[in-house]
Amino acid sequence: MIGKHLSKLRLRDEINAEEEEAIRSCISEIVDYPADQTIVHRGEELHYSTLVLEGFICRYKDLSDGQRQITHIHVPGDFADLHGFTLKHLDHSIMTLTPCKIAKAPHERILKITEKYPHLTRVFWFSTNLDACIHREWEVSLGRRRALERTAHLFCELQVRLQIVGMADETGYAFPLTQTELAECLGLTSVHVNRVLRELRERGMIEFRGGRVSITDFKALKAVAEFDPAYLYMELRDR
């Protein structure tokens, strides 16, 4: 059930049997959600964190004029709001992008982990810090990359992150978002995203169609994006 989460943690650090058991027993409940449902509302008091088991989830902020910025996409194996454990309530909302299965980890159980397992606490802390790394890379994309590179960069990021949890291979991955949702990640309009996708397709790099990203030339995609996966910290145990 939480295998994806564990393998992601173990990519970066050792998790012994006792710690694994501690993580497992953190989970109180498994819940299914339909697509496009806000599961955590900005500002509401939190009593548990949500671990994504299946589906895609995002963090987003709304603006008063109806615009929305998605600030992070979560893939299976991610804690979507582990940071909520220390923050107590969130500055943003969390919604499902696709139908999802999620596990709930009550904060009192996470609290016990922080009291009893310092190493595991650091692992959890690391995991929220890794989210921040991704936030920073998105800031770079939003601030400095133009639409084509920015879009290519996002597809590269997801390719790598999904591969870690066995949900992508060399040909691509399932990613059933609308172009409007993609635009909300990229700080663009859906019209422009559509044009960028056509360009990427015409250049033979990717196809975004039928809820799937088909990567036809990853090397070229990485090249236009100037994608450097260092910010995803995939090699931490080797160092």
Residues at the site binding a second copy, with contacts judged by CB under 8 A:
43, 45, 59, 61, 63-64, 67-69, 71-72, 83, 86-89, 91-92, 114-115, 118, 121-122, 125-126, 128-133, 135-140, 142-145, 186-187, 226, 230-231, 233, 236, 239
Identity (one letter) of the amino acid at 207? E
The residue count of the chain comes to 239
Nearer to a second copy, 128 or 214 (CB): 128
| Interaction partner, residue 132 (a second copy, DNA, none; CB < 5-8 Å by kind) | a second copy
**Edge-to-edge, what's the strand order for the sheet holding 100-106?**
29-33, 100-106, 48-54
Closest approach of Cβ 237 to a second copy, in Å? 10
Closest approach of Cβ 37 to a second copy, in Å? 21
Under 8 Å between Cβ of 161 and 227 = no
* Angle at the Cα of 83 from the Cα atoms of 80 and 87, rounded to 5 degrees: 135
By the rule CB under 7 A, 190 interacts with DNA: yes
Under 8 Å between Cβ of 135 and 72 = yes
Under 8 Å between Cβ of 156 and 226 = no
Under 8 Å between Cβ of 137 and 231 = yes
Interface region with DNA, contact rule CB under 7 A, candidates 53-61, 95-103, 134-142, 182-190: 182-190
| Interaction partner, residue 34 (DNA, a second copy, none; CB < 5-8 Å by kind) | none
Identity (one letter) of the amino acid at 57? I
Under 8 Å between Cβ of 56 and 73 = yes
Closest approach of Cβ 83 to DNA, in Å? 28
By the rule CB under 7 A, 179 interacts with DNA: yes
Nearer to a second copy, 189 or 216 (CB): 189
For the packed helices 147-164 and 190-202, what is the interaxial angle rounded to 10 degrees? 80
By the rule CB under 7 A, 146 interacts with DNA: yes
Find the binder of DNA among 209, 226, 235, 237 (CB under 7 A): 209
